[in-house]
Structure 1
Amino acid sequence: MSEGGAGSREAFIAALAPLVAAIGGELIEPGEKRDDDVLLAWAGAPAVAVRLPLLSASLEHVLAELARTHGRPLADLDRATKQQIVRRLEARGAFAMRHGVETVATALGVSRFTVYNYLNRSTNC
């Protein structure tokens, strides 16, 4: 790896790291890339591979990050905050994946029916 300034491979990887962490992914050396990893090039050469999480793992990662952001388990939040979380998750496509509603309901400490009510409420407002 070259030492260097803003245009270096290391700077490129450092810039990617927060995004990859936010989605629950992992940065991998190009030589360790598997078929389902995404290889990224910098300056015409392979720089790093990104191992994307399974969709269910990604949702779990997002829910864990939301709990950290709020400083407590999501089940302990008030109703209005839970509704906001459901709206944010809907915008990110969480409910398009299999078992998304069940996963979110469990994290929020509510029933699936309640999550569906929150979703219906957000579309009717």
Structure 2
Amino acid sequence: MRLVAEFTTEPFDVDGQPPAHATEAFEAAQRAGLESDFGPLGTSVRGEDDVLLPALSGVLQAAFAHGATQVTVQVRQDGVVKVSREAGGLSGLLAEVAAELGGSLSGLSRGEKQRAVLLLEAKGAFEYRKSAEIVAEALGVTRFTVYNYLNRARD
């Protein structure tokens, strides 16, 4: 079964270069052969459960060995999108944008994912509670990546 894990290392350092605990954890995931998406506030990795789950041990070891004081990890089955009751209308917007872009949101290229985020913003998707997390799950990226896409568009 394919899994997705998101992890955040602390302390945060949003100014300048990413801290060693974040970059070393990311590199440990890559060495394990996981598909990885590094963000300044969090990293998302994907892979088969028999590879991803043991690799998380190496990710955690690398983070703590390089100065992390805390690591938060979330793991879910790939392709499973949680849609909370509060975000009921969001699932319709996600389907609309997927149809508009001609396919599964998680299968889009990086540029198309950025476009999807902009389309969702224009449709009011980010007015829903926990929308960034739900959109991130649908796109197969971290919520921090969604925030980055939004911030780049606003700059």
Distance 1:92 1:64 in 2: 12
1:90 aligns with 2:111: no
Deviation at 1:118, TM superposition (A): 0.1
Q: State the TM-score, normalized to the length of structure 1.
A: 0.51
RMSD value, Cα: 1.6
1:120 aligns with 2:151: yes
How many residues end up aligned between the 2 structures? Answer: 71
1:75 aligns with 2:106: yes
Partner residue in 1 for 2:91:
60
Structure 2: unaligned runs, 5 residues or longer? 1-84
Displacement over 4 Å in runs of 4+: none
Deviation at 1:70, TM superposition (A): 3.3
Distance 2:124 2:106 in 1: 21
Structure 1: unaligned runs, 5 residues or longer? 1-53
Q: Which amino acid aligns with 1:107?
A: A
Cα distance change of structure 1 residues 55 and 91 upon mapping to structure 2, 3 Å threshold: farther
Deviation at 1:55, TM superposition (A): 5.9
Which structure is higher in strand share? 2
Percent of pairs identical after alignment? 51
Larger CA Rg, structure 1 vs 2? 1
Aligned residue among 119, 122, 133 for 1:102: 133
Distance 2:129 2:115 in 1: 21
Distance 1:88 1:70 in 2: 10
Three-state SS of the structure 2 residue aligned to 1:110 is coil
Q: How does 1:2-17 map to 2 (within 5 A)?
A: none
Q: Which amino acid aligns with 1:120?
A: N
Deviation at 1:95, TM superposition (A): 1.2
Q: State the TM-score, normalized to the length of structure 2.
A: 0.42
